[in-house]
Every structure is written in structure tokens, then in C-alpha cells.
Amino acid sequence: MKVLIAGGAGFIGSTVASACLDAGITPVIIDNLVTGRREFVRDRIFYDGDIADGALIDRIFAEHPDISAVVHAAALIVVPESVAEPVRYYRENVSKSLDLIEHVTRNGCQRYLFSSSASIYAPGADFTVDETSALRPESPYARTKAVMEWVLEDCTNAYDLRVISLRYFNPIGADPKMRTGLQYAKPTHLLGRLITALEAGEEFQITGTDWPTRDGSAIRDFIHVWDLARAHVEALRRFDEVLPVSGSRRYDVLNLGTGTGTTVREFVAAFQRVADRPLRVADAPSRPGDVVGSYTRTEKAHAALGWTPDHTVEDGIRDSLDWSANHRPKLLGE
């Protein structure tokens, strides 16, 4: 099997590509390297370019006519940045994605895995959600994901296209073989900020402490990026079982999380246990775009993919610390 991975030089896309390689699936990668890293596509089939470049997409399919599916992982993902730069986020995450869909369907590829986000959910009373839960995206980033889900569902009704939207919860960790990991010099997500504070000897701030959770901090479902990548492999292998060619359904949604809710305070405590180094922690107000969060019920993904996560929160923290200490400085030239 050969698959096109849009955004395959980024954190998640490159890890999905590694999982594909380990499973005997050949990834063909397109990435414009705005946030992705050229080092992450070394020794892989790679096209340096934009997903909106129709001529390049046509060339990729001409040179690899055996591509049987697309994994769409190309997107900007920083919530506070999306609040400050909504036009940029809609252009990169929506407008260019429309171009990609058009180019893919023109080339006859019928299987499409879309990287969506759990940030589109409205949290339930107990903070759990499943694929039927109400949606309430509360940041421009989250709204770009919700918009693209609607677009893709409409496209399945109009074109010869079947789509599985994979709603990610909160990826942490790194490829356990340390081939790829977080590529940002100054990450803005929780674990990245913890590592930055630890390395710099700075105080870490828990942003938002008056949420209606068991300890006042936000709640998340932290999933190891390798478990997330393995789910993509299973979705590719079982695509025609989830959405049969002759079936009436042409669009489906799967949540990818652990099924366990971890508050930010609990995550910080786990980080301190794994790091085994002192870290000063203080409370602070919420940031623009912050939400209380949720965690998923996992029955649908398990039934559809035969998949369950293998890694713990501590595993994800440990792999992230390993990557940051031994690989990220060389990558970023620090």
C-alpha cells in the first residue's frame, strides 16, 4: 500500500509516516516546511511544496499512480495564534484544504483520512464525549477543523470520495525510536511549556484554575503520539471495512484518545515525578482560546479499528523529555 501524507514533515504527520513504514505501508509526503522539518523526511519520498499547488499534486499522482489513500495532516495548530491571526488560519487550514480535496478527487483517489480535533466538542456534564456529542468549537483553530469536517462530508455526497475524520485528543510523546518528535523551538502546548520551564529553570504557570473540574484546572485526554499513529495505520488497513465501497455511508468520525481524563494539575504532578527535578508551579488566568476540555469514550474506535492505546501519560512525558534532551537541540541548532 502507498499513501500520500499531506503535512508529513510535521510532528504528527512524520510519526504517522514512521508507523506506516514499520507496517509495510509506503508514505509519499508533501509538506511546505513552514512548520515541518526537512530532517523528518530524510530517506523518505518527499515533495517540497504546498497542498494548494494543483500541478504538484497532479505530478505526485502521476509519479505514484498506486497511491490508494490520503492522510491530511497539514494544518496550523496553535490556538492562541489562531485567535490573533484568524485570517491566516482560515487560509491555511480551510482554503488550501479545499484546493487539496479538489486535486485529490480529480486524480481519482477515493480514501481520505482527515486530521480533525477534539477541540470542536462541547464538553458534557461529566466532561466525557463521544462521536455523537454536541459540537461547540470555541477558537478559530477549532472552527477551521469543524468547517473542514462539514466540507468533507458534503464532498462525499458530491464526489467519488469516502472520508474518515479522526478527532485527535491531546498528543504527547515522540516516536519511541526517536526518529521524529516535537519540532517547535518554543512549543505552546502543555507538555512543551513544561519542558521549556524545566530546562530554563523558570516558573510554570497553570493557566486557568477556576474550571468546574475536580481540582479547578482544565481536563484533557493525553494520548501518546505513537498510539495515535498506530490508529492511522489501522484506519488505512481497515478503511474499506469502516466505509465499504458499496455501502451507503461515505463519511464517518472516530475519536482517538485514551478514554481517561487527566487534569492539568494531575499532568503537572506526573511530569514532576518523571522529570525527578524541582519545578516551580503557580496559578495564572486562562489564555485566549482556552477551554475546560474533555476526554473521550473509546468504544467506537476500538470496534472499528481493533485498536487500543498502549502507552501511559508517564510514557509520553518520558519520551518527550528524551527527545527534548537528546534530539531537539541538534534539530534546532541550539
> Going residue by residue through the chain (334 aa), what tens digit of pLDDT does each one get?
999 999 999 999 999 999 999 999 999 999 999 999 999 999 999 999 999 999 999 999 999 999 999 999 999 998 889 999 999 999 999 999 999 999 999 999 999 999 999 999 998 889 999 999 999 999 999 999 999 999 999 999 999 999 999 999 999 999 999 999 987 766 768 898 999 899 889 999 999 999 999 999 999 999 999 999 999 999 999 999 999 999 899 999 999 999 999 999 999 999 999 998 889 999 999 977 788 989 999 999 999 999 999 999 999 999 999 998 887 645 544 4
Q: Note whether 118 and 255 are within 8 A (CB).
A: yes
Buried b / exposed e across 70-88, counting CB within 10 Å, b at 16+?
bbbbbbbbbbebbbeeeee
- Please tell me whether residue 116 adopts helix, strand or coil conformation: strand
Helices 264-275 and 313-326, packing angle to 10 deg? 50
Which DSSP category does 62 fall into?
Answer: H
Beta strand 222-224 with 262-263 is unpaired
Catalytic residue among 47, 90, 121, 141: 141
Give 147: exposed, middle or buried? Use CB within 10 Å, 0-12, 13-18, 19+: middle
Nearest C-alpha neighbor of 293 from the set 226, 227, 216: 216
Residues near 247 by Cβ (< 8 Å), separated by ≥ 6? none
Extract the C-alpha cell encoding 231. Answer: 490508529
Q: Note whether 51 and 6 are within 8 A (CB).
A: yes
Q: Is-catalytic flag, 121? A: no
Between CA 131 and CA 297 the distance in angstroms is 8
